[in-house]
Amino acid sequence: MSFSDLETFLDNLGESKFRAKQIWRSVYHEGKESFFDMTNISNNLRSSLSEKISIDLLRTKIFLSSKDLSTDKALFELEDGELIETVLMRYKEDGHRNSRKTVCISTQAGCALGCTFCATGQQGFRRNLTFGEIVKQVLYMRKLALSEDMDEIAKNLRSKGEIQGVTNIVFMGMGEPLANYDNTISAIKILNDPLGLNIGARHITVSTVGLVPQILKLSEEKLQINLAVSLHAADNETRSATMPVNKRYPIEDLINVCKKYVYKTGRRIFFEYVLLSEHNDSEEHAYKLGKLLYGIKCHVNLIPVNPTTQGIYNRTKSTTVLNFQEQLKRFNIPSTLRIEKGIDINAGCGQLRSRIEL
Ligand code: SAH
Ligand code: SF4
């Protein structure tokens, strides 16, 4: 239910609308999983709520932890049998950044965009997730993260004021968030809401394949979130070869809307660039990228390709990656090589689901 649906529901029960805030806070902020645990509402209301509505959680089909215990991956089965994936990644303090726990969430079961290197894309589109299904993935992982924090406090590994839970969210799981626009925005609002999960907007990143009209719309939402655009090539021929969406929204249109986005929001944009050996990783590709992005307030995330089940792409050698980064530096474009996590548990985009189906 949306907040206003909850208010109407309570109104119809003859209850004050004010209760909506309390219930909302109990579910999303405090993570209560039963109305009977909501001690701030009357016994009568608790019973009547539990007769009429329910707090549904996700059903776990598979749960895997990586060997180094830094990454967990869950495959959830939705009410209609659809399968989606969620990943929890733990990062230790590293001198530059504090320790953090990031949840990677899905917005669709499957994806219609068919990028050739992506396991989700190879499965085709099933359906959009509701905003509830998007938020529930975070609720699930937050419970785990909070319980770890408590265990560490008990062992004196953490001081009392240091309960963190989930600190960051990336919309980089299955599906294209901006193709499920309204539910993605509703989910972001609940995640960010102080009465909800209270995760700072600057700690939330939405990744898009590059849907031009939706990026424009997003620039007008007045959200302080991060936007990551999956570029993966700096010329139309190379990009179209792996990303069919490029035929609809070619690079010129995409870069134009990105510039508008930066202008309207004042926020730097992130460009993702999956390195595919001998496809988009040469020195010449790096020059083209540098030229394309020169002068745009941006950051490039270089991503080593994860092997997919039908993978036809190989990884770029580390010397080639370093050279690629060096070329970008010459254009004053900052870049980082994404730290990989969970490779041993198929934590790459859409990979766990495809393993089940094979
Ligand atoms: N649909 C959105 C968000 C989900 S995919 C998008 O495409 O941006 C999140 C990121 O994972 C994208 O940058 C996508 O290109 C990347 N990705 C997909 N398959 C991958 C693979 N096999 N190896 C590495 N990154 C991959
Ligand atoms: Fe869809 Fe993103 Fe995968 Fe492309 S990379 S198929 S847009 S999920």
State which fold the 3-52 domain adopts.
Answer: DNA polymerase; domain 1 (1.10.150)
If you take atom 9 of ligand 1, which residue's CA is the nearest one?
Answer: 172
In the chain, where are the structural domains located?
3-52, 60-357
Which residues line ligand 2 at a C-beta cut-off of 6 Å?
111, 113-115, 118, 120-121, 175-176, 209, 349
Q: How far is Cα of residue 206 from the mean position of the Cα atoms in its chain?
A: 6
Determine which of 7-21, 273-287, 295-309 has the lowest per-residue pLDDT on average.
Answer: 295-309
Residue type, 114: G
Q: Whose CA is closest to atom 8 on ligand 2?
A: 175
State whether residue 88 is helix, strand or coil. Answer: strand
> Is the dihedral angle over the CA atoms 230, 234, 239, 245 positive or is it negative?
positive
CB of 208 shorter than 6 A to ligand 1: yes
Neighbouring residues of 199: CB distance < 8 A, sequence distance ≥ 6? 138, 166, 167, 168, 169, 191, 192
Best residue among 120, 272, 313 to mutate for probing ligand 2, ranked by most atoms within 8 Å of CB: 120
Active-site position among 15, 85, 133, 272: 85
264 alpha carbon to ligand 2 midpoint, in Å? 26
Q: If you take atom 18 of ligand 1, which residue's CA is the nearest one?
A: 118
pLDDT tens-digit map of 228-259 = 999 999 999 999 999 999 999 999 999 999 99
Is the pLDDT score of 80 beyond 90? yes
Distance CA 186, CA 331 (A): 38
Distance 120 CA to ligand 1 centre (A): 9
Q: Name the band, by pLDDT with cuts 50, 70 and 90, for residue 353.
A: low
Residue 328 clears pLDDT 70, i.e. is over it: yes
CA of residue 229 to ligand 1 center, whole Å: 10
Q: Determine phi and psi for 74, rounding to 5 degrees.
A: -120, 140
State the distance from the centre of ligand 1 to the C-alpha of 34, rounded, in angstroms: 36
Is-catalytic flag, 349?
yes
**Could you say which ligand is closest to the alpha carbon of residue 229?**
1
- The neighbouring-strand residues paired with 206 are 171, 227
**pLDDT tens for residues 329-341?**
999 999 998 877 7
Q: Residue 161 above 90 pLDDT?
A: no
Task: Give, using CA atoms, the residue closest to atom 4 of ligand 1.
Answer: 172
CA–centroid distance, residue 73 to ligand 1 (Å): 16
Query: So what's the pLDDT on residue 355?
Result: 54
To 10 degrees, the CA torsion angle through 28, 29, 35, 37?
A: 150
Ligand nearest to the CA of 124: 2
Give the bridge partners for 323, in sequence order.
Answer: none
Q: Span 122-140, mean pLDDT?
A: 96
Q: Which of 111, 115, 298, 349 is catalytic?
A: 349
**In sequence order, what are the beta bridge partners of 125?**
110
- What is the CA(271)–ligand 2 centre distance, in A? 15
Report which ligand 1 atom has the smallest distance to the Cα of 228: 8
What's the mean per-residue pLDDT of the chain?
92
Name which of 45, 81, 88 is nearest 65 in CA terms: 88
6-49: pLDDT as tens digits: 999 999 999 998 899 999 999 999 999 999 999 999 999 999 99
C-alpha span between 307 and 346 (Å, rounded) = 9
Classified by CATH at the fold level, domain 60-357 comes out as TIM Barrel (3.20.20)
Per-residue confidence (pLDDT) for residue 342, from 0 to 100 = 74
In a 3-state reduction of DSSP, which class is residue 301?
A: strand
The letter for the amino acid at 259 is K
Q: Determine the straight-line distance between the first and last CA of the chain, rounded to whole angstroms.
A: 36
